[in-house]
Chains A and B, each alone.
Chain A
Amino acid sequence: VSHEIFPASAELLSYAKGQRDALLALIERIESRRRRRAPASAPDAEAEGWPLRMLGINSQSPKGAGVKVAVLDTGIDLTHLDFAGRINPANCQSFVEGVASVQDGHGHGTHCCGVVAGPITPQVGPRFGVAPRAELIVGKVLSDAGEGFDSDIVRAIAWAAAQGAQIVSMSLGSARESQTAYSIAYEQIAGKLALDGRRCLFVTAAGNESQRSLGMIAPVGNPAACPSLLAVAAVDQWQRVADFSCGEVDPIGTLDLCAPGVAIRSTVPGGYDFMSGTSMATPHVAGLAALYLEQDPHLTPAELWRVLVRSARNLGRRRDFGFGLPVLS
């Protein structure tokens, strides 16, 4: 830290560094002990990152083959080696005004795509893709600044449904004030698709507006507040609700599930990076839904929803975790 900026902090900084080093040493001791205790026969104990292990996914788990998952976000890095040869151009479309390509200039969409369908063996590091054999449908609905409008998103949903998407992952949203209505448009879309026999499960990010460490829990945002869209909260590696994760503070915006969403490693344009947010929790649930759908392709969205909820491990209060953390069984 620059002392010119904050000279009085030198002592505090030194103290903090000491605390940090002590914490790191403790973590290292715990980790080394855990590694020593791991059975030698475990073939790939470290082949999956912690988020996948938390979801009960290992190398023997289904891979999402034959399942189409749409990711509506900022696009995808088409040149990323982890997606080389895996993205069908017919499954990519931009809905952002004036932008023809789905190439991701932001990074968020590529990260979400990586969580849903990153490869079994990434170029570097452990596996992070929940459903590596799922077929990705990529709709760019948010600009490279990370924002977009309902009109573009609705259009993309229509397109994704026409492409045969069975699961739609939407790591997007906006804040909603308590006791205000959910988005009628998204609710109508989900209802219409269900009536048409289109099998689309919508998985959405609950929102990041909370500051729980300061005692502030924000309501689930839109469109996650819609009753027919599955709302996902974020937890960290220790299965604690994330500080930013929105909660069920009114009867309108209900939480359904939670998933890893803090310091999640996945693909970004040109490499890998860690990201946090309910955005990162959402594709974990979408990917997990793809695994269940591979196991039973005849599941309707409602049945798939129930399967996910039934598989959830209760982590605590409903308003923080929804029905809990879904685990592959």
Chain B
Amino acid sequence: LIQVDVPAWNNGKTPSPFPASNGAEVIVVSSCGWSMSPNKVHFDIVVPSPPDTPKTDLDKQFEVLKNLAELKQPSQFLRFAARGSRQCEHALEYSTRIQFRRHHPKWPEHQRLEVTLNAHSTMNTPNNPHARRAHVPSHLIISLDDKQPVIEVLKSRVTGVAAKAKAEAVGEVRTFAARAPGQPETHVYERFNIAAVDLDEREADQLRASNVLVVPNERREVQGWKHTAPPMRVADHEGFPCAPAAKIADQEDFPYAPRFPESEPGEPSVR
């Protein structure tokens, strides 16, 4: 069992905690953009989402893994399963234990790599540096009062917003240049009385005092994923879309076969 604090590891100053004795070297890819490649390439690991990540999310991450693996050697592809999660005391932290097992004939059955990743939440936390892409505003400012245009509130409360009106952008969106190098632009959706701005906490508090709503610029994601059935099955023409007639379970690269059926007491087996 290896404890890995991913953000700390991510800074590149700490060595890879994964054992290299089996030729195992690690790339960790997460949805928030970390990428680590300490030595060579054998494993691809996706850092999971917040507490109680549903299987559907894991399946999506598995797709990412699969895509990565296809770029390399499928025989060295790593299969993984998550075994529940535990919410930390701090609301913005989570901990998820992932169990890795290499999908390779030479990888002994009893050898497995168990990793506990303690990561700060990557979701919807504007002030978490890992949470956002570059150039994405941290907050949305919403004025519910039509007599109080959000742009006027911004001009009066946020330094620099009014200074550099860049252009009238798409439709009724007004774009302001970034207030500082590396900061995202400010967009004001005048018709909606909403603005997307990069704010620090002090500015956010000031704006809240101005009787506007200040909410995180939340992350959204697709709500669908590729189904287990291989594409273009003949059975589809007969109205049965996912008949497993092609011996799905025998396919070497079928990603949803139950590789880790054993469960801990009280825990569901994750396929």
Contacts and interface: CB of A to CB of B under 8 A. Distances in A.
B249 interface: yes
A42 interface: no
Contacts, number: 236
Interface stretch (B2-10, B14-22, B131-139): B131-139
A189 interface: yes
A147 B221 contact: yes
A274 B241 contact: yes
Contact of B54 (A209, A262, A264, A279): A209
Nearest to B254: A1
B220 A237 contact: no
Contacts of B249: 1, 13, 16-17
B229 A173 contact: no
A31 B101 CA distance: 41
Interface residues of A, number: 88
B240 A237 contact: yes
A59 B193 CA distance: 44
Contact of A155 (B55, B170, B215): B170
B194 A188 contact: yes
Contacts of A146: 60, 221-222
A124 to B, nearest CB: 6
Contact of A208 (B104, B223, B244): B223
Interface stretch (A60-68, A78-86, A104-112, A319-327): A104-112
Given A2-B252, A49-B236, A188 B192 contact: yes
Given A1-B257, A185-B194, A150 B240 contact: no
Contacts of A159: 170-171, 173
A116 to B, nearest CB: 13
A125 B194 contact: no
B242 to A, nearest CB: 4
B54 A154 contact: no
A195 B226 CA distance: 38
Q: Is the interface of A mostly helix, strand, loop or mixed?
A: mixed
A151 B194 CA distance: 9
A174 B242 contact: no
Contacts of B181: none
Nearest to A48: B239
Contacts of B258: 6, 9
Contacts of A265: 231, 236, 241
A93 interface: yes
A222 B218 contact: yes
Q: Is the interface of B mostly helix, strand, loop or mixed?
A: loop
Contact of B232 (A9, A148, A158, A271): A271
Nearest to A108: B222
A275 B236 contact: no
B196 A151 contact: yes
Interface string B155-170: 0000000000000001
Contacts of B193: 188, 192
B236 to A, nearest CB: 6
Question: Could you say which of B222, B240, B252 has the most chain A C-beta atoms within 10 Å of its C-beta?
Answer: B222
Interface in B30-67: 31, 54-56, 60, 64
A211 B224 contact: no
B268 A183 contact: no
Interface string B113-144: 00000000001100000001111110010101
A172 B217 contact: no
B188 to A, nearest CB: 10
A142 interface: yes
Interface string A178-218: 00000111001100100010000000010111110010001
Contacts of A185: 140, 142, 192, 194, 215
A154 B189 contact: yes
Contacts of A277: 56, 222-225
B252 A145 contact: no
Contacts of A214: 268
B69 interface: no
B192 A46 contact: no
17 contacts: A5-B259, A49-B239, A53-B239, A97-B135, A111-B224, A124-B232, A142-B222, A149-B132, A149-B219, A154-B192, A184-B213, A188-B194, A208-B56, A211-B268, A221-B223, A274-B231, A274-B236
Given A153-B220, A158-B173, 5 more contacts: A98-B135, A173-B223, A174-B123, A184-B213, A277-B224
Interface of B: 31, 54-56, 60, 64, 79, 101, 103-105, 107, 109, 123-124, 132-137, 140, 142, 144, 170-173, 184, 187, 189, 191-194, 196, 213, 215, 217-227, 229, 231-232, 236-245, 249-250, 252, 257-259, 261, 268
